[in-house]
């Protein structure tokens, strides 16, 4: 009886794996296909095979480094991604500390306002923000891409969630021991929330690196554009061949994929702390 039960369990487990593997392969097709096409011979593209390829051809990649200002785009993306993420963290930590550590009039209303900002579609404020950035003379500059997004509701929200788990007594003890407010934030709250902060850093960076709509509006100069924006425009204007297109696509995804694989635990855990209580 017990043996039969175990057998059934194994069959069940096996069939689940078969289902999941099938779905995993299906959902990975775009990634596989991008990789496979990037190594193909230009003629082979039109033979209509899915992944199979005769040649392992590096011409696409060589062409990228020869004719496409890829390193410029990658550098722009890196600068924007790093600075924007750092800024969002600094602004977010300071605001979250105020929300978590202090009681002051209007605190809950202000926090509710932060939540509301996440709900409002960015398209509503996009046109006026574009004009303000223009007035400030920030069009076509990294400043114009970065500064309007420094106050990130998502960052403030997640950091506050994690600061709320710091015991009140610890914060109060630091104050009693003569810690300055900044010191309290630094030594107590930041120290105890490092894992949440590292998860948030990865999430924010990936979001900033992948952002498309806003950089597309602000950055008109080719030498200033971030990777996705420059790549899209370059492809449209130069009617780039398939093989180099897929090579650029692969190279553009690579840093993010590596970051994701390195920090995956952080990344997926970070999403769970969104304060959902089942």
Partner 1 sequence: MQNSIPFTGKKVRTSRRFRSGLRKSWIPFAFLLPALGLYAVFFVYPFIFALGLSFQSWNMISPDKTFVGLANYRHLLHDEVFWISLKNSGLYVLLTVPLAMAIGLVLALLVESLWRGKRLYRLIFFLPVVSSIGVISIVWSLMYNPQVGAINVLLRMFGIEGPNWLNDPSMALWALAIVGIWKGFGYNMVLYISGLKSIDRGLYEAASIDGAGRWRQFRNVTLPLLSPVTFFILVMSIISSFQAFATIQIMTKGGPNNATNVLVYQIYQEAFQFFNIGVATASSVILLLIVGLLTVIQLRMSNKMVHYQ
Between 33 and 65, whose beta carbon lies closer to partner 1?
A: 33
What tokens were used for 202? 């990865």
User: Which window, 55-63, 65-73, 95-103, 192-200, contacts partner 1 (CB under 8 A)?
Assistant: 95-103
Say how far apart CA 209 and CA 1 lie, in whole Å: 56
Phi and psi at residue 120, in whole multiples of 5°?
-75, 125
Phi and psi at residue 46, in whole multiples of 5°?
-95, 10
Nearest to 136 by CA among 79, 230, 218, 211: 218
What tokens were used for 125? 């404020």
Q: Which of 213, 221, 238, 262 binds partner 1 (CB under 8 A)?
A: 213
Say how far apart CA 76 and CA 22 lie, in whole Å: 38
Say how far apart CA 211 and CA 195 lie, in whole Å: 24
User: Which window, 46-54, 56-64, 67-75, 161-169, contacts partner 1 (CB under 8 A)?
Assistant: 46-54
In the complex, least distance from residue 72 CB atom to partner 1, rounded to whole angstroms: 16
x/- mask, partner 1, residues 99-128, rule CB under 8 A, reads x-xx-xx-x--x--xx--x-xxxxxxxxxx
Between 3 and 6, whose beta carbon lies closer to partner 1?
A: 6
The site for partner 1, by CB under 8 A, has a size of 94
Between 153 and 192, whose beta carbon lies closer to partner 1?
A: 153
268 touches partner 1 by CB under 8 A: yes
User: Which window, 47-55, 64-72, 162-170, 190-198, contacts partner 1 (CB under 8 A)?
Assistant: 47-55
Residue 206 makes CB contacts below 8 A (sequence gap 6+) with 256, 259, 260, 267
Helix, strand counts (H, E) of the chain = 15, 0
Say how far apart CA 97 and CA 182 lie, in whole Å: 9
Say how far apart CA 97 and CA 86 lie, in whole Å: 16
Between 10 and 58, whose beta carbon lies closer to partner 1?
A: 10
Q: Which of 2, 48, 112, 237 binds partner 1 (CB under 8 A)?
A: 48
70 touches partner 1 by CB under 8 A: no
Q: Which of 160, 245, 247, 266 binds partner 1 (CB under 8 A)?
A: 245
232 touches partner 1 by CB under 8 A: yes
What tokens were used for 177? 């021991």
Residues numbered 136-195 forming contacts with partner 1, rule: CB under 8 A = 147-151, 156, 175-176, 178, 181, 185
Between 34 and 192, whose beta carbon lies closer to partner 1?
A: 34
In the complex, least distance from residue 173 CB atom to partner 1, rounded to whole angstroms: 11
29 touches partner 1 by CB under 8 A: yes
Q: Which of 8, 11, 22, 47 binds partner 1 (CB under 8 A)?
A: 47
Nearest to 69 by CA among 255, 213, 234: 234
Residue 45 in contact with residue 243, Cβ under 8 Å? yes
């Amino acid at each position: 009886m017990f043996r039969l039960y175990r057998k059934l369990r194994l069959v069940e487990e096996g069939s689940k794996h078969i289902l999941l593997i099938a779905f995993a392969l299906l959902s990975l097709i775009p990634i596989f296909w991008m990789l496979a096409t990037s190594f193909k011979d230009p003629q082979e593209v039109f033979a209509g095979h899915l992944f199979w390829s005769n040649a392992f051809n590096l011409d696409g990649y060589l062409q990228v480094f020869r004719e496409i200002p890829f390193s410029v785009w990658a550098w722009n993306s890196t600068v924007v991604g790093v600075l924007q993420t750092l800024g969002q963290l600094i602004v977010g930590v300071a605001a979250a500390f105020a929300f978590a550590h202090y009681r002051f009039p209007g605190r809950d209303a202000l926090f509710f306002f932060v939540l509301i900002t996440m709900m409002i579609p960015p398209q509503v404020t996009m046109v006026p923000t574009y004009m303000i950035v223009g007035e400030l003379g920030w069009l076509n500059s990294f400043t114009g891409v970065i500064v309007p997004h420094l106050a990130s509701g998502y960052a403030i929200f997640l950091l506050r969630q994690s600061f709320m788990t710091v015991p009140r007594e610890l914060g109060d003890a630091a104050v009693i021991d003569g810690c300055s407010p900044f010191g309290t934030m630094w030594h107590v709250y930041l120290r105890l929330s490092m894992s949440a902060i590292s998860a948030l850093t990865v999430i924010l960076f990936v979001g900033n690196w992948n952002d498309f709509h806003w950089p597309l509006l602000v950055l008109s100069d080719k030498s200033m554009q971030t990777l996705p924006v420059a790549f899209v425009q370059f492809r449209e204007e130069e009617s780039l061949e398939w093989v180099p297109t897929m090579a650029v696509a692969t190279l553009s995804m690579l840093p993010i994929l590596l970051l994701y694989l390195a920090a995956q635990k952080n990344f997926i855990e970070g999403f769970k702390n969104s304060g959902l209580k089942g």
